[in-house]
Amino acid sequence: MAMSVGKEDGEDVPMSDINTTPLVDVMLVLLIIFLIAVPVVVETVPIALPATAYEARETKPENVELTVRGGPGGTCEVYWGMTPIDSQTLLDRSVKSLEDAIAKVGGAENLTDDTMPEAHIRGDVGTPYKCIGGTIFTMQRAGFARVGFVSEPPPGTGVTRL
């Protein structure tokens, strides 16, 4: 930038005004460059499924084994073992199962991590989320603190048993 000199009462005096036009021009050019470049650099909603470690699960008699799949017309099919069951019956039966498990150990104060019953849900790959989510919600309403999913490891991966 150059400094212009003006005349005041016949004497050469530097001007105290700053020309901001070049600064504004540079800032606008940088703003446009960033507005164009940033969307190119930023990826859209990256999703990575979690890497899971497959461990052998211990099947205990007090555990509840459920199977959930999508039915015709967007309905949900829930099975307790091999028996189809509706939502209210699932809730009633789950509460009864949990009460029986608590009575078996002598009361809720005697429950430990090893004696706490669990709900294991096997969900079909094409099952809508509302079916799985509804089953989880029902089991939690029944009082089950541990609700887990049963999955099948991909072919070729071995399960290490201790």
Tell me whether strands 64-70 and 147-149 are parallel, antiparallel or unpaired.
unpaired
Domains of the chain: 64-149 (3.30.420.270)
Closest by CA position to 151, among listed 61, 60, 51: 51
**Residue 136 exposure: Cα atoms within 13 Å on the Cβ side:** 11
pLDDT at 144 over 80: yes
Handedness of CA 33, 34, 36, 38 (dihedral sign): positive
Q: How confident is the model at residue 88 (pLDDT cuts 50, 70, 90)?
A: very high
Please report the pLDDT score of residue 70 as a whole number.
85
Global pTM reads 0.59
**Number of separate helices (H) and strands (E) present in the chain:** 3, 7
Q: How many residues does the chain have?
A: 162
Question: Per-residue pLDDT tens for 51-79?
Answer: 556 666 667 777 888 888 888 888 888 99
Contact between residue 90 and residue 80 where contact means Cβ atoms under 8 Å apart: yes
Over 90: is that where the pLDDT of 123 sits?
Answer: no
CB 102 within 8 A of CB 39: no
Q: Is the pLDDT of residue 162 over 60?
A: no
Structure tokens at 30: 């940088």
